[in-house]
Amino acid sequence: MIGRLTAREVATVLRNSDLLIGVDNCWRHLAGAVGGKAVVLAGSAAEAARLQGEGICAVAGEDGGTAEISVKDIRIEEVLEGAARVQGWGSVEEMERVLCA
Task: Name which of 18, 53, 15 is nearest 34 in CA terms.
Answer: 15
Q: Report in angstroms the alpha-carbon separations of 62 from 22, 39, 59, 68, 74.
A: 18, 17, 10, 10, 7
pLDDT at site 41? 92
60: CB partners within 8 A, 6+ apart? 41, 42, 43, 44, 45, 47, 48, 69, 74, 78
Q: Is 74 in contact with 23 (CB distance < 8 Å)?
A: no
- What pLDDT band is residue 63 in, cutting at 50, 70 and 90? low
Query: Domain residues of the chain, as ranges?
Result: 7-99
Predicted model pTM? 0.77
